[in-house]
Amino acid sequence: MRVATWNVNSVTARLPRLLAWLESAKPDVVCLQELKCATEAFPPEVRDLGFEVAAYGLGRWNGVAVLSRVGLEDVRRGLVDEPTYDDAAEPRAVGATCGGVRVWSVYVPNGREPGHPHYAYKLRWLEALRATAVAESAPERPFAVLGDFNIAPADDDVWDISLFTESTHVTEPERAALAALREAGLRDVVPRALKYDKPYTYWDYRQLAFPNNHGMRIDLVYANASFADAVNDAYVDREARKGKGPSDHAPVVVDLTL
């Protein structure tokens, strides 16, 4: 089974690239983030390629989806006791069982800056993610949370950590939230790099960040033992970040032998 995660930064704007990638990469399950479209507006062309779709979006911002060619069951939108921001629930998490594998596509809040209300919301949201993982991860069933975590797990996951000392994505409380997921029995499935020695997944559009490989590893796969032990390859598909009009993220692809 081939499972992938990709922050597409607008499924509508990126649709031609997404369709081409689905046909060339041939994933069985795909977790998408930052759809920027309402649930009912998810492009039907994806279903035309043989995928069932569990989308969750409200329109302009956020939005997540699970695409599957191996079945789509037990769809759940939203986390256990998920917090709100400005009294509104944001579409940031959707779970589904695909071919016996339970996956969650997540788009973790950015946090904006330490001390901002959105940062506190991010930490509460991560607590809800951990509670969901604890509730759903069973030893006998492969389980993984995939998506844009907006957290770099370690200093090596940022191209120049000195530039982020006052920023989100690398603070101790955010990394502690990832540690809590590991303590709950999930592993960080680290992909291999296809060109450089660092498997970054995100590069800013500005200042030639991508050709200079000034990136971050913030698109993550956190999996239980049943999933992680079945991994025979994992890589960042940098080719999908190239060319005209790409997302600022690249897909992370994980191959499983189940």
Indicate which residues carry an active-site annotation.
107, 148, 249
Residue 150 marked ligand-binding? yes
Would the annotation count 82 as a binding residue? no
CB atoms within 10 A of CB 170: 21
Pair 33, 64: CB distance under 8 Å: yes
Does 34 carry a binding-site annotation? yes
Give the residue ranges of DSSP H helices in the chain. 15-25, 45-48, 117-136, 172-183, 225-228
Task: Find, among 104, 207, 100, 97, the residue nearest to 148 by Cα.
Answer: 104
Q: Is 148 one of the annotated binding-site residues?
A: yes
Contacts (Cβ under 8 Å, ≥6 apart) of 234: 189, 190, 191, 192, 221, 252, 253, 254, 255
- Residues annotated as binding site? 7, 34, 148, 150, 248-249
- Residues annotated as binding site for Mg(2+)? 7, 34, 148, 150, 248-249
